[in-house]
Amino acid sequence: MQKAVVFAVSVNDITEMINSIRNTFEHETPTMSHQPSAINHSKLKITVLGTRGFPQVQGGVEAHCENLYPQLVERGCDVVVFTRKPYVNNTDTFYKGVHLIPLFCPKNKFLEAFFHTFIGILAAKKHSPDILHIHAIGPSLMVPLARLLGFKVVMTHHGPDYQRKKWGKLAKIVLKLGEKYGCKWANSIITISDTIADHIKNRYKKNVKVIPNGVILPDILQSNDCLMKYGLTKGNYILAVGRFVPEKGFHDLITAFNQLYSVDFTSLEYKEPLQTNHWKLVIVGEADHEDVYSTNLKVQAKKNSDIILTGFLTGKPLQELYSNAGIFVLPSYYEGLPIVLLEALSYGLSCIASNIPANKNVKLSDDRFFEVGNITSLAKKIQAFMEKPITDKDKREQRNMIVANYDWGNIAEETLEVYKKVINRDNDKKKINDEITQKHRSIQSQVNHLSLYLFAFPLAGSDL
């Protein structure tokens, strides 16, 4: 009976996929009167794949796209983003000038990216974009198909996802193929960090453009509605933000936080609990796909009443938590370029992070890193910065660093330059090919005339 249910669901998914493909070609683009502003057909047309969607959808790629594409619209681009129906509103909409079109995909962590990207590439044919921008290496498995259909493709590599602990052997093989095909076939490659760029240069001998994630410098909120809701005190809680997946390392953070209460922590010199002023731990986020890990994480957290899981938050509640935290911790085993760490720095928070290469790309002093996976090191680091609050001077320097290095306006300008180079390079190639063709035709014409002359000359001589 169970097998029959699984089969029925699979059939329904396939049926919906077929209907979705049909609808993408039958769907009419909104008329001018339905759009927030008239489209200038001289605008650069960009179609985007590889994100679940936005706004208010959890994920690094999602945050990246939510901030980048409105900036490109402001710079005169016509941007269409194909979103995934399970995560967004099921109707066409606009967000800050970006046209969001939901397409079917099964909500399945193994299949949804590939299904959605395949359908999206077929749907993109109707929009005839100047650039098809594909994000992440999973969706990039479809880059050869996009090139075969005549698209100019820009790929953004957000990190080697096959390093994530959640993937099995087969999934990792497929992701590596996605990276390989994307790097081999894309017209241009963007990476979000130098570490990823070096990886691509060494493995695939490809030139890349490094354009980091960005942050909008926030206002520091004085309101405390969210703090009151969760029983928090300003400056007296640790904040962590992210999805409930193993590579985020939240299990290590919870264990380290619990050790701060331990009377026998690491050695006999600790006779009393390390934590004396009753801090709390707040973890913001949830699982995209509930599994054994996320379930166990919630069970682990419930054992300590000072550990608070808020679920996914955005907007003012999240801003309040950032504005009032005492310490921000990122215990990740894997990152591309961590937007949540950049956001924490933009609020002037005292930050601690694991010493993985992606985190060390962010400008933090060496004493703010701990050995990834080393719970004792993490607990000691937290204790040290509980006793050493960040100074106002350091807060200002952090915020200035964010403005200088991670401004979305500058990131949009650099991305637009990549688009233009791809188009110009293709146009130059076309121009050269046209010139070669024209010269070939000219030479062929001259050869034909010469052949006619050589053929006619003897005939004319015989008449003399």
**What is the Cα–Cα distance from 92 to 380, expressed in whole angstroms?**
50
| pLDDT tens digits, 372-419 | 999 999 999 999 999 999 999 999 999 999 999 999 999 999 999 999
pLDDT of residue 191: 97
Query: Matching CATH topology for 2-23+41-210 and 225-405?
Result: yes
2-23+41-210: CATH topology is Rossmann fold (3.40.50)
What is the C-alpha end-to-end distance of the chain, expressed in Å? 99
Q: Mean pLDDT, consecutive 10-residue segments, the chain of 464 residues?
A: 41 59 51 39 87 92 96 97 91 94 88 94 95 97 97 96 86 95 97 95 95 93 94 96 94 95 48 63 92 94 95 94 97 92 96 95 92 96 94 93 94 97 78 61 63 58 46
Q: Are 290 and 314 in contact (CB under 8 A)?
A: no
The correct CATH number of 225-405 out of 3.40.50.2000, 3.40.50.1580, 3.40.640.10, 3.20.20.140 is: 3.40.50.2000
| pLDDT tens digits, 188-214 | 999 999 999 999 999 999 999 999 999
Query: Of 441, 239, 406, which is closest to residue 324 (Cα–Cα)?
Result: 239
Enter the tokens of residue 216.
């909008």
Where exactly are the structural domains of the chain? 2-23+41-210, 225-405
Query: Of 301, 327, 298, 319, which is closest to residue 227 (Cα–Cα)?
Result: 319
- Coil, helix or strand for 156? strand
Task: Give this prediction's pTM.
Answer: 0.76
Query: Of 126, 182, 125, which is closest to residue 151 (Cα–Cα)?
Result: 125
pLDDT of residue 36: 41
Q: Are 361 and 337 in contact (CB under 8 A)?
A: yes
H or E stretch at 79: strand 77-84
Q: Are 198 and 189 in contact (CB under 8 A)?
A: no
How many other C-beta atoms can be found within 10 angstroms of the C-beta atom of residue 87? 20
Q: Are 232 and 324 in contact (CB under 8 A)?
A: yes
Tokens 């049926």 correspond to 15
Tokens 């209907």 correspond to 19
**What is the Cα–Cα distance from 220 to 214, expressed in whole angstroms?**
18
pLDDT of residue 8: 39
Beta bridge partners of 79: 46
Neighbour order of strands in the sheet with 77-84: 93-95, 98-103, 77-84, 44-49, 131-135, 153-157, 188-191, 209-210
